[in-house]
Amino acid sequence: MLTESEKAQLDQHGFLLLESLIPSNITEQLREGALALAAAEQEAGKNHRYLANDSAQRVWNLVNKGEIFEEAIQQPKMLAAMAYLLGVDCTLSSFTVNVLYPGAPAAGLHIDYPLSALPTPRPSFPLVANSVWFLDDWTLENGATSCVPGSHRRLEALPEPGVEYSDALQICGPRGSVLIVNGAIWHGSSKNITNEPRVGLLGFFCRSILKPQQAQLKLVSDAVLSRATPTLKRLLGLDSLPNMNA
Ligand SMILES: O=C(O)CCC(=O)C(=O)O
């Protein structure tokens, strides 16, 4: 379902913007749901805040936190991009809300878990990939994701903390867009100098041979598993467990 030009962009640049992929009513529901979860976790005092002054927040394990998220993570075009990068049996590694509150600094360029822990040279083929869901317009001011085109081919190097790389581009786009990022490219959220939160989702995937960032099968409820489609079961890793059906 990816065009040849989309595949070429992923190969050459290491990222691909799927502009206005998600209908506006779904984008709005996802945004409301994401902010409600972020507020509820703050209220419960078990929220994951990070960056200076706790100016960013993650909400983890979205597959277990609302049917709208179960459906979202099965978005066909996004999954086609993941299948192109990671194989048709790729697995969900984690699915999170990422909110950058006003004043959040740039998170810093990085490559994704677990690539930075691997010996070099790192593999030249993708092992993990992220989908960054824009639930607001992504702008130069509110923290649009920075990417260094082609950096997935730097198999030995890593971005240095605090350094501003002149070849980094901020990827801006309208709400409802989904940015596909090869986890090996140097990327990260930028600073939010607006007065509004920048609300996004991160659907992070890995090859089925890797251990996901979150133990999906331990974290999802029986209710989610019992209504899961074959696609969702596969994403949660039910098909990647050897000898389970013997
Ligand atoms: O939220 C963003 O703009 C990017 C997040 C990111 O880089 C990551 O989680 O690895």
Testing ligand 1's pocket by substitution, the residue of 189, 190, 204 carrying the most ligand atoms inside 8 A of its CB is 189
Alpha helix ranges (H) inside the chain: 4-13, 24-43, 67-72, 76-86, 216-219, 222-227, 230-236
Q: What integer pLDDT is reported at residue 239 of this predicted model?
A: 73
* pLDDT attached to residue 162: 87
* pLDDT one-digit tens code per residue, 163-178: 989 999 999 999 999 9
Q: What is the pLDDT of residues 15-55, one digit of tens each?
A: 999 999 999 999 999 999 999 999 999 999 988 999 999 99
| Alpha-carbon dihedral 7, 210, 230, 224, rounded to 10 degrees | -120
CA 55 to CA 52: how far, in whole Å? 6
Contact 142, 174 (CB under 8 A): no
Class of 4-236 in CATH: mainly beta
CA–centroid distance, 200 to ligand 1, in Å, is 9
Per-residue pLDDT, 217: 86
Distance CA 173, CA 179 (A): 9
Residue with tokens 């467990």: 241
Question: Which residues does ligand 1 sit against, CB inside 6 Å?
Answer: 98, 112, 130, 132, 145, 187-189, 200, 202
**Mean pLDDT, each 10-residue run in order, the chain (246 residues):** 97 98 98 98 93 96 97 98 97 98 97 95 98 98 98 96 94 98 98 98 96 92 96 89 56
Q: Which residues contact 61 (CB under 8 A, 6 or more apart)?
A: 94, 95, 96, 214, 219, 220
Q: Which of 50, 93, 127, 132 has most ligand 1 atoms within 8 Å of CB, for mutation?
A: 132
Distance 145 CA to ligand 1 centre (A): 7
